[in-house]
Amino acid sequence: MPRPHSRRRLGVAVITALLLGSAAAAPAALAQDEEPTNLITNGDFASGTTGWWSTANLTGEAADGEWCLDVPGGTLNAWDAIIGQNDLPLVAGESYELRFTARASADLSVRALVQRDVDPWPTALEEFPGLTAEAQTYSYSFTANTDWSDAQLAFQIGRHAEPWQFCLSEVALLTGAEPPVYDPDTGPRVRVNQVAYFPDAPKQATLVTDATDPVPWQLHDAAGTLVAQGESSPHGDESTSGESVHVIDFSAATATGEGFTLTADGETSYPFAIGGDVYGDMAVDALSFYYPQRSGIAIDDGIAPGYGREAGHVDVAPNQGDGAVPCYGGACDYTLDVTGGWYDAGDHGKYVVNGGISVAQVMSVYERALHAPTGDVSRLGDGSLRIPEHGDGVPDVLDEARWEIEFLMAMQVPAGEELAGMAHHKIHDENWTGLPLMPADDPQARFLEPPSTAATLNLAAAAAQAARLFEPYDAEFAAQALEAAETAWAAALAHPDVYAVDRGAGGGPYGDNDVTDEFYWAATELFLTTGAKTYEEHVLGSEHHEADTFGPGAFFWGSVATVAKLDLALVPNALPGREDVVAQVVAGADHYLELQAASPWGLSYGSNGTFDWGSNSAVLNELVVVATAFDLTGEARYRDGVLTGLDYLLGRNALGNSYVTGYGSHDSRNQHSRWYANQLDPSLPNPPAGTLAGGPNTVASTWDPVAQRWLTGCAPQRCYIDDIGSWATNELTINWNAPLAQIANFAADQAADVAGKPSCNVEYRINGQWPGGFNAQVIVTNTGDEPLKDLTLTWALPTGQSIVHSWSVALVQEGHLVTATELGGGHELKPGRTYTFGLIGSKDARTAVAPASVTCSAG
C-alpha cells in the first residue's frame, strides 16, 4: 500500500539549480588571481539589447539593467517565443556556469538552453527555472562534450495560455566553473523494500558500509520495540552499485504490522510493513495507470482524481487527428480513423509494435488469474479498476485492454489496398513537441507511418489472445478480433520482410529487422485460440521453439519469443511436446534465481554491468518468467524469488529509491511526460500512483542532455536521475507498466494465499472425447486433518470448451470460470475421504485438455 512521503532528498530545482544569495561565492575552478571569462555580450543590458535577438512576437525594452518583454498568450510550444544570443565558443572538457537573474508577472517555468542552433539541436544544458514575481538569481553548471564555435544561449518562454511579462538581467556564461557533480540523496545506508515484506517469505536488506566484519542489526516495530536482531553478512565491493555492502537477513522475524525499521552501522532504514494485503493497491494502481494514458476520450476527474483532462486527438482544434489520418508523404491514397488507443509514453505517439506487447501483457494478468493455482479472477472483475466501463459485466482489465486492441485493429490496411491486412507501424506527430503539452493542445499534423511485418504480427498475436479472452463476454468482438488476427497473419506471410522505416522525427522508431520471433509469437497465440494445425506446425517448426530465449531481460518489444513460451506453458493446450516448453521456462527461471542469489541486492539483472534503457522493465520481465515457474511447479523458491526481485524496485538499490510512484518513502515522481509535468508546471500533476520509472541506463549513446550532464562515470545502478528531462533514465511507458501490473498482481495473489487454502487434492480426468464433445471426471480428496464444509471448486475452462451436463454436483459457468458446489450432496468431506462428480462438455475441433488448475475453498 502507498506509504507516507517523508522525503529527505533535495527537490529537483535545488539539485540542478542553486538560488544564489548575496554571499554566493564565485566558481572555484580558477586560480584565485584568475578571473573567469564571460562569454555573453551585454549581459547587463547597459547597451540596450545589443548582441541579443528575440522572436518577432515579443516586444519590450531594456532599462535599468533589465530587459522586460511582453510574452503573448496562446502559444503551444516553449520555442514559440524565444530570446537568445548566438556564436558562443565552447571547448570540450571545459566547465561553464550559466548565471542569470529573472522574474515573471506570474508563477511559471521557462526553458533555458545552451545548444547549437542547427538540426537536431544538440544540447549542452537544458533547465526549466521556475519564476516568480520576485527576481531570483539562478546558476547552472555544465561541462562541454565537444568543441562548438557557434553555441547558442536561448530562453524559450512560449507555451503559456495567458499573456505575461518576462524580465531578465545580469546574464553571464562564465568559463572556469566547477564541473557539475550529481550527488543524489540516497537516504539511509540500510536499503530496504520500502513497501512491505511477506511474513513467510525472505526478508532481506542491503547495508552500504566499508566495514569488513559483520555488523549488528536490530529490527524495531512502529513503537520502537526490538523484535529481532542479528549480524550482517559482509559481501564486500559490488560492481553494479560501486559500493561495499553487507546483506541483512531478517527472514526469521515473525512479527507483522506497519512501521518496522532496521538499524545497522548507525543508520536506520525507511519504514516498511510486514504482512497484510501489501500489494493489493499496487496491483490496482499499475493497471489503472492505463486509463489516463488513453487517447480519444476525456479523462474523468471523478474516476482518476487529479488527472481529468480534455480528450486528446479527436479532431478538435488545435488537434489535427486522429479521425482521418493520411500516410506520411502521400504514400497511400486512403485515411484511417485511429482514434483511441494508449499514448505510448510521455509523448502523443501511438505505436503498434509497443502497443502489441503491452496489451498482451495486460491481458496476461487476467489469463494468469484464470489458469494459475494462486490466481484470483475476482480481484479483476467488473468494478475493480479506475475506469469508466463499470457495470458492463466484463472484467475491468479486459475493458482496458479492449481500448488498445480496437486501436491496433484500426491500424490495419484496408481490403483492396496493395498491402491489405498489414498493420501500419505507428501514428504520431510530424515533428516532436515540447514539454509540457496536454494531448488536446497538440497542434501537430498526424501521419500514418508505413506498414511493417513486425507491426502486423503484433496485431495478429494480440488480437488472437483477445479473441479467446473476450469470447464469453462479447462473442461478436471476439470474432472480429480473430478475423483481424488471421488476416494479419496471412498478410505477414505474404510480406515477411517489410521492415519499419524511421524518418527521425515526431516519434520513436521501434525498428526490428528480425521478425522470426514475431512469427513464432503470433503463431502461438493463434494456435492457443484456434487449435488449428497450420499454426501448430509453424510453432513446432520455428527456430525459436527449442532455442534458449531466456537471456538478460527475458523479452521486450523487439524480442518476443519468450512471451510465446510463457503462454504455451501456462495456457491449457495440446501442443505435442508441450512439457519441453514447460521445462524451458523452469530452466530459465532457475537461471534468473542463480543470478539473483549471487547479488547482494537480490537482483537477477545487470550482472554483466549493462543496464539497458528501461532496465526496470527488464528486471520485471525476468520476474514474470520466475512467477510463471511458480505457477507451473508450485515450488516456493520461485515465489520467493519474485518477491525478492520486487525489493530492488521498491528501494533495496544503490539509490535507495522506489521506482514506483506513490510507493515508499523516497519514490520517483518526475517521469518524462508532456502532461504529468508538475516539475515544469505546478498546476499539472505528477504521474499517477503505480507508475514505473524506466530506471538506470548505462548505454551512454542513448542518453539525453540531462543524463549526459549529470551521470557521466556513474556506477550502473546509479545511472538514473528523477528528472522530467531524462527520457533515457526516467521515462514512463505502457510496456514498462505492463510487467509491473503482472508482478504486482502476482504478489497480491500470494498475499491473499498466505491465509491458506483448505487441504484438498483435485484430480480432473478427461475420460473420453468425440467430435464436438468430451466426458470428464473430477475427484476431490481431503488431505488434511479436519472436515471440509461447504466445499467449492473453481476452474477456468480451456478455450473452445463449455459445460453441457453434470451429475453429483451443481455447476455454474460464468465467463471463463466454472464453479462447482453441492459436492457430495452438500455434506462435509471428512479427512482422507473423496467426492467424485462428472460432466459432459462440448468442444471445438481440437483435442480436449484439462484445466491448468482447479482451486478448492471451504466455508
pLDDT in tens, 421-430: 999 999 999 9
Catalytic-role residue among 722, 723, 749, 816: 722
| Whole-number pLDDT of residue 766 | 96
| Sheet of 190-191, strands arranged across | 190-191, 204-208, 243-249, 233-238
Residue with cell 501521419: 447
Catalytic-role residue among 347, 612, 640, 749: 347
Instruction: State the pLDDT confidence band at 34, using cuts at 50, 70 and 90.
Output: confident
Which cell is 631 given?
A: 505457477
Told to judge if 672 belongs to the known catalytic residues of this protein, a careful annotator would answer yes
Mean pLDDT score, 745-758: 80
Answer yes or no: are the C-beta atoms of 95 and 180 closer than 8 Å: yes
pLDDT in tens, 582-594: 999 999 999 999 9
Told to judge if 185 belongs to the known catalytic residues of this protein, a careful annotator would answer no
Report which secondary-structure segment, H or E, holds 218: strand 216-220
Q: Tell me which DSSP letter residue 721 carries.
A: -
Which cell is 145 given?
A: 562534450
Q: Is pLDDT at 206 greater than 90 in this prediction?
A: yes
Report which secondary-structure segment, H or E, holds 237: strand 233-238
Mean pLDDT score, 320-344: 96
DSSP alpha helices (H): ranges in 372-424? 396-410
Give Cα 254 distance to the centre of its chain. Answer: 33
Q: Is pLDDT at 23 greater than 50 in this prediction?
A: no
Please state, for a pLDDT cut of 90, what percent of the chain lies above it: 90
From the CA atom positions of the chain, what is the Rg in Å? 29
Q: Average pLDDT of the chain?
A: 94
Q: What are phi and psi of 441, to 5 degrees?
A: -100, 0
Q: Is pLDDT at 25 greater than 90 in this prediction?
A: no
Which cell is 571 given?
A: 495456457
pLDDT in tens, 610-664: 999 999 999 999 999 999 999 999 999 999 999 999 999 999 999 999 999 999 9
Told to judge if 502 belongs to the known catalytic residues of this protein, a careful annotator would answer no
Distance CA 145, CA 450 (A): 36
- What are the angstrom distances between the C-alpha of 667 and each of 187, 717, 719? 11, 15, 16
Q: Is pLDDT at 31 greater than 60 in this prediction?
A: no
- Measured N-to-C along each axis, helices 533-541 and 516-530 cross at an angle, to the nearest 10 degrees, of 150
Q: Is pLDDT at 18 greater than 50 in this prediction?
A: no
Query: Which among 341, 323, 458 is positioned nearest to 403, based on CA atoms?
Result: 341
Told to judge if 543 belongs to the known catalytic residues of this protein, a careful annotator would answer no
Which pairing describes strands 196-197 and 272-274: parallel, antiparallel, or unpaired?
Answer: parallel
Instruction: State the pLDDT confidence band at 30, using cuts at 50, 70 and 90.
Output: low
User: What do you get for the CA distance between the two ends of the chain, in Å?
Assistant: 28
Burial of 712 (0-12, 13-18, 19+ CB in 10 A): middle
Q: Tell me which DSSP letter residue 713 carries.
A: T
Catalytic-role residue among 344, 731, 749, 816: 731
Task: Give the 3-state secondary structure of residue 109.
Answer: strand
pTM assigned to the model: 0.93
pLDDT in tens, 533-570: 999 999 999 999 999 999 999 999 999 999 999 999 99
Mean pLDDT score, 445-472: 98
Q: Is pLDDT at 7 greater than 70 in this prediction?
A: no
Distance CA 120, CA 560 (A): 32
- Given its phi and psi angles, is residue 856 left (phi above 0), alpha (psi -120 to 50 degrees) or beta? beta
Query: Which among 631, 630, 623, 673 is positioned nearest to 650, based on CA atoms?
Result: 623
